[in-house]
Amino acid sequence: MVTQILDPTDERVPIKRSLTPRPEALHGRIALLDISKPRGDVFLDRLEELLHERAPGVETRRFMKPTVAKPAPQPIKDAILEECDFVIEALAD
Amino acid sequence: MHPPTKFSLQDANGQEMQFPPQGPVLLALVKEDCDTCNLTLPLLEAVHRATDDGLDVWVAVQKTEDIPVLKDRHDLTMPLLDDDALDLSYETDIDTVPTLFLYDQEQNCTLQTFGFDRHEWREIAKESMALAGRPDGNTDIDWDALPVQRPGCGARNYEPGVYERLQAIKSGDLLSRLVDLASSDDIHDFMYEQGYTDGFPVVPPTRERVWKMLQGTDRDPQDEVAIVPPNLAPITVEKIAINAVMAGAKPEYMPSIIALVEIACTDSFNIHGVLATTMGATPVGIFNGPIRDRIGMNYLHGALGSGNRANAAIGRALRLCVRNVGGSVPGGTDRATQGGPHRLTMNFAENEDASPWESLAVEYGFEPADDVATLMAMSGGPATIADERSREARGMAGTLAMSMSCMQDPKSPMVDTLVVLSPDHAGIFGRSGWSKDDVRECIMEETAIPLKHRLRSDDAGCGLPQSVVERFGGEAALDLPVPKFREKSNIILVVAGSSAAKFSTILGGWAGGAYSVPTSATIGPTGALEVRGSRGSDMDKRSSGGRELGAFEPSVRPD
């Protein structure tokens, strides 16, 4: 006898999104996103220094989530999308 | 009971019989193990033979295997229809066999009865003869030899287990995808491998079990209850019921489980952060009010675990909902560094009778008669406080304070610690006339240490950065006493357990309590009625996108 159970999941099929093609060189403006985790600023400060040193001409812009505990507010996501070509996120500890 | 107007069933020879046939018809529904059915079948056969072609007599039998048995037992020649699937019985909604419907030439049901009443059956037989065009014909039934009345038997479609199966399949309440298991699959292995479980075996959520679970709430199965992080997936009452079955819940727990899901998905409780955090937090449920006894929750021996079905299953159901619908899976978006056994389920009721104080729910503004659930995000504990010596309130409060002074780390101030006092420890405060606030004030004083001892140093790298000194007023503030807790209200006091001994429990909050506020709801038949954050006013209960309760940032944060 075939046993049947009901699916306990949300049953949604994730939308497949392809990655944006990897650029051959850094250019334009890079968003540096601090998620408000300890020492995220230290990491991004150093990274910013290195970027300016090794990729002159590349502009950086700093963003920060108001809290580590919740997803980034939409205005921050919108600003990164509109103003920047790349984003580097300092994730977790 | 609804007289059927149209159906199709096979007879004993496998021939499809379409109802209604041309002309008048007498339709009966019977089962084999019913004395009254066996009493009446020869009467139906007599009517069939006496009316000849003038009237059809059809008998629907509720089990395939009973058809040849009845045919042989009563030498039946009338068509015996196979209602083994109980489609006809369900649509007709009969609860008793035999049930009899008489239809005239226009297929109007003119008479109906159930069980056996000699007078009624005699009338039906007489009317059948009239409809067949033989009003003066004789059925050869010796009516005087028959009993005056016999009750019928319960119809098979209402038998326990069968009724639930039929409802589950035919009611239209269940819309979730059906997952087929091969006969070679071990159901527990299968469900684990699909990622449906928390590691322990779960109760397989068959349609019958889920339908029964849904009977525990007045809410429509397809009502959307909340949007569950981290995948921001809508969760319906049906999906909650499926996960509640898996958790081992009973239908009467459903309103509480729905309420916990609603609380968890508020912006104030922030289940997204609670489960995504690397700190390994988990929702802890505390119940107050009459519901504790009504659904058999434990607030006595072993209240914090284990052995009580309501305590265990309600908390586990919430976790399974967030896992299976929200997509919070350890190693995925659940980033707990180590986790802990309390993440499987942590849910209990307050021992209100043993408490010298108002209950947690009353403290948060609800009435004593309200059924209330409160969720708190806890990452630490449960850790035992053993003090069998204190007899006075001051000493007992001191024990609590010293035990709590090292929560998370010995230097950082934190917010929200849940103190679950045993009745014996709570009684010390009660006998001394101490209020909850008296206990809290003592803990604040006892845990206060100079600011300089809360700063990072070479001998212990945890604690506050030197930069906070300026915020406290510079060098002069180094000797300023800073308590472990930001405010008195961050020390949450409840009473649970039995009068066994002087042991209590503390559970540390998550990330200083800044990101998740203890949040409560009154519970009604449909789930949460009114949701409140402990530090805010009424709030929008539906939403992970609900209103903020108001900024709550600790004045002193580790970073």
For residues B247 and B352, membership in a common domain is answered with yes
What does the alpha-carbon distance between residue A7 and residue A14 come to, in Å, rounded to a whole number? 16
Which range among B362-366, B384-388, B514-518, B545-549 shows the weakest confidence by mean pLDDT? B545-549
pLDDT for the residue numbered A24? 85
Residues B356 and B477 in one domain: no
CB contact under 8 A, A5 and B277: no
Instruction: Please report the number of interchain residue pairs, chain A to chain B, with beta-carbon separation below 8 angstroms.
Output: 94
Structure token digits, residue B356 = 């010298």
> Mutate which of A1, A5, A41, A74 to disrupt the B interface (most B C-beta within 10 Å)?
A5
Domain of residue B92: give its range: 7-159
Query: A3–B185: do the CB atoms touch at under 8 Å?
Result: yes
Q: Return the residue of B nearest to A38 by Cα.
A: B559
Contacting residues of B for A9, CB less than 8 Å apart = 196, 324-325
Of B179, B276, B511, the CB nearest to A5: B179
Q: Considering B159, B181, B202, which residue would you say is the last residue of a domain?
A: B159
Task: Check CB contact under 8 Å for A70 and B191.
Answer: no
* Confidence class for position A13, pLDDT limits 50, 70, 90: confident
CA triple B456-B458-B459, angle to 5 deg: 95
Asked if the Cβ–Cβ distance from A8 to B207 is below 8 Å, we say no
Q: Which of A4, A8, A11 sits opposite B246 (nearest CB)?
A: A8
Q: What is the pLDDT of residue B556?
A: 39
Which residues from A are below 8 Å from B281, CB to CB?
Answer: none
Chain B nearest C-alpha distance from A25 (Å)? 31
CB-CB contact of B531 with B541 (8 Å): yes
Q: For A35-39, B56-60, B327-331, which range has the lowest pLDDT when averaged over its residues? A: A35-39
Residue entry with tokens 């240490």 = B449
Sign of CA dihedral B508, B510, B513, B516: negative
pLDDT at residue number B500:
85
Q: Is A49 exposed, middle or buried (0-12, 13-18, 19+ CB in 10 A)?
A: exposed
Residue A1 pLDDT grade (very low, low, confident, very high; cuts 50, 70, 90): low
What average pLDDT does this structure show over B226-253? Answer: 97
Residues 9-38, chain A, touching B (beta carbon < 8 A): 9-12, 38
pLDDT at position A91 over 80: yes
pLDDT at res. B225: 97
CATH number of the domain to which B86 belongs: 3.40.30.10
Long-range contacts of the stretch B113-116 (C-beta < 8 A, 24+): B114/B1, B114/B152, B115/B36, B115/B149, B115/B150, B115/B151, B115/B152, B116/B36, B116/B39, B116/B40, B116/B146, B116/B147, B116/B149, B116/B150, B116/B151, B116/B152
Which of the residue ranges A64-73, B417-426, B520-529 would you say has the lowest mean pLDDT?
A: A64-73
Q: How confident is the model at residue A68 (pLDDT cuts 50, 70, 90)?
A: confident
CB B314 within 8 A of CB B374: no
Average the pLDDT over each of B57-66, B300-309, B376-385 and give the range with the smallest value. Answer: B376-385
| pLDDT exceeds cutoff 90 at B136 | no
Residue B544 reports pLDDT greater than 50: no
Query: Which residues of chain A have a CB within 8 Å of the CB of B513?
Result: none
Taking the Cβ of residue B185 and every Cβ of chain A, the question of whether any pair is shorter than 8 Å is answered with yes
Do B509 and B375 share a structural domain? yes
Residue B339 lies in a domain: yes
Q: Of B439, B460, B481, which one is at a domain's C-terminal end?
A: B481
Number of domains in chain B: 3
Residue B5 has pLDDT above 90, yes or no: yes
Q: Per-residue pLDDT tens for B278-297?
A: 889 999 999 999 999 999 99
Inter-chain touch B235–A68, beta carbons under 8 Å: no
Are B525 and B498 contained in the same domain? yes
Chain B residue numbers with beta carbons less than 8 Å from the beta carbon of A5 are: 178-179, 181, 187, 191, 204-206
Asked if the structure places residue B558 within a domain, the reply is no
With a pLDDT cut of 90, the percent of chain B lying above it is: 86
Residue B82 binned pLDDT confidence (cut-offs 50, 70, 90): very high
Query: Are B31 and B42 within one domain?
Result: yes
- Do residue B95 and residue B11 come from a single domain? yes
The whole-number pLDDT of residue B514 equals: 65
The mean pLDDT value for B26-47 works out to: 97
Q: Which pLDDT belongs to residue B554? A: 33
Question: Is B272 contained in some domain?
Answer: yes
B356 and B499 belong to one structural domain: yes
Q: Name the average pLDDT for chain B.
A: 92
Q: If pLDDT is split at 50, 70 and 90, which confidence band does B537 have?
A: very low
Q: Taking 50 as the threshold, does the pLDDT of residue B329 lie above it?
A: yes
Helix (H, G, I), strand (E, B) or coil at B549: coil
DSSP character at residue B485: B
Q: Indicate the pLDDT class of residue B178, thresholds 50, 70 and 90.
A: very high
Segment B498-525 mean pLDDT: 89
The pLDDT value recorded for residue A3 is 87
- Which of B77-91, B187-201, B370-384, B436-450 comes out lowest in average pLDDT? B370-384
ω before B306 within 30° of 0 (cis)? Answer: yes
Structure tokens at B467: 């930069």
Query: Which A residues, 36 through 75, put their C-beta within 8 Å of a C-beta on chain B?
Result: 38-39, 67-71
Regarding beta strands B109-114 and B99-103, do their DSSP bridges make them parallel or antiparallel, or are they unpaired? Answer: antiparallel
Confidence (pLDDT) at B108: 95
Residues B219 and B301 in one domain: yes
Q: Which of B179, B243, B273 sits opposite A4 (nearest CB)?
A: B179
Contacts of B238 in chain A (CB under 8 A): 6
Each residue of B390-432: pLDDT tens digit? 999 999 999 999 999 998 899 988 878 999 999 999 999 999 9
Contacts of B335 in chain A (CB under 8 A): 92
Q: Is residue B182, in this structure, part of any structural domain at all?
A: no
| Domain membership flag for residue B107 | yes
Kindly list the domain boundaries of chain A, sorted by start residue. 29-90
B485 vs A: CB within 8 A: no
| Residue B40 reports pLDDT greater than 50 | yes
B134 and B263 part of one domain: no
SS3 call for B475: helix
Q: Out of A1, A2, A92, whose CB is closest to B278?
A: A92
pLDDT at position B513 is 60
Q: Within a domain: residue B168?
A: no
Q: Please answer yes or no on whether B234 and A68 come within 8 Å at the CB atom.
A: no
ipTM: 0.85
* Predicted local confidence at residue A37, as pLDDT: 86
The residue among B58 and B276 whose pLDDT is bigger is B58
Q: What is the pLDDT of residue B415?
A: 77
* pLDDT at B498 exceeding the cut of 70: yes
For B365, half-sphere exposure in the C-beta direction (CA atoms, 13 angstrom radius) is 12
